[in-house]
Amino acid sequence: QLFGEASTRASTVLLFVGAVVDAAFASSGAMHLGPRSGAGSVAHLPLGSGGSGGAEPCSCGRTGCLQSEVSERAMVRRAAEQGLIVGSFTELLDRALAGDARALALFRRRARLVGRGAALLLDMFDPEVLVVVEPGAGRIPECLADLRAEVAERSWVCEDPERAVVPSSFTGSVLATAGGAVALGALYTDPLGPWPALPAVS
Q: Does residue 27 contact residue 11 with C-beta atoms inside 8 Å?
A: yes
Residues 6+ apart with CB under 8 A from 112: 51, 146, 147, 149, 150
Residue type, 180: G
Cα torsion 31, 174, 48, 73 to 10°: value is -130
| Pair type for strands 11-17 and 129-133 | parallel
Residue 20 CA to residue 30 CA, distance in Å, equals 23
Q: Does residue 53 contact residue 59 with C-beta atoms inside 8 Å?
A: no
Q: Which of 13-22, 33-42, 182-191 has the lowest mean pLDDT?
A: 182-191
Residue-level pLDDT at 80: 95
Residue-level pLDDT at 96: 97
Average pLDDT of the segment spanning 137-147: 96
Residue-level pLDDT at 3: 59
Could you tell me which CATH number the domain at 6-189 has? 3.30.420.40
More reliable by pLDDT, 33 or 147: 147
pLDDT exceeds 80 at position 179: no
State the pLDDT confidence band at 40, using cuts at 50, 70 and 90.
Answer: confident
Residue 148 CA to residue 166 CA, distance in Å, equals 9
The model's pLDDT over 72-88, given as tens digits with 9 standing for 90+, comes to 999 999 999 999 999 99
Residue-level pLDDT at 16: 93
Residue-level pLDDT at 169: 75
Average pLDDT of the segment spanning 157-173: 85
pLDDT exceeds 90 at position 192: no
Q: What is the DSSP letter of 122?
A: H
pLDDT exceeds 70 at position 159: yes
Residue-level pLDDT at 9: 67
Residues 6+ apart with CB under 8 A from 150: 111, 112, 114, 115, 116, 118, 119
Average pLDDT of the segment spanning 146-154: 97
Side-chain half-sphere CA neighbours of 59 within 13 A: 7
The model's pLDDT over 89-137, given as tens digits with 9 standing for 90+, comes to 999 999 999 999 999 999 999 999 999 999 999 999 999 999 999 999 9
Residue-level pLDDT at 160: 95
Mean pLDDT across the chain: 84
Q: Does residue 115 contact residue 149 with C-beta atoms inside 8 Å?
A: yes
Domain ranges of the chain: 6-189
The model's pLDDT over 43-67, given as tens digits with 9 standing for 90+, comes to 998 886 544 455 677 888 888 899 9
Average pLDDT of the segment spanning 140-169: 95
